[in-house]
Amino acid sequence: MKLFDVYPLFPIEIVKGKGCRVYDEKGTEYLDLYGGHAVISVGHAHPTYVQAVAEQVGKLGFYSNSVINSLQEELAEKLGKACGYPDYSL
């Protein structure tokens, strides 16, 4: 199966990230200024983020919206308050 050609690719392969920098397969360092879809605003490999994700994935990585998910509800409430739309629904 081929990947969907969304846009032309740069001839580099990013293999790791740390803070606001990413590195290609040759070790070249780049300042990560990418602002597209699914960006990670906390930086790469931040210890607090890594620990929180590891703890959560150790319990449950993902499950369907067809059951109660109190963490999802808690986050939705916080995001609603933070953006000024507490009654917004997705």
DSSP of 36-62:
STT--TT-BS-HHHHHHHHHHHHH-S-
* Interval 25-78: pLDDT, tens: 999 999 998 887 777 778 899 999 999 999 999 998 888 888 898 988 999 999
What is the pTM (predicted TM-score) of this model?
0.64
Residue 76 to residue 52: CA distance in whole angstroms: 18
Domain boundaries, the chain: 14-83
Q: For position 36, what pLDDT does the model report? A: 76
pLDDT on residue 52:
93
pLDDT on residue 35: 81
* pLDDT given at position 12: 94
pLDDT at 83 over 90: yes
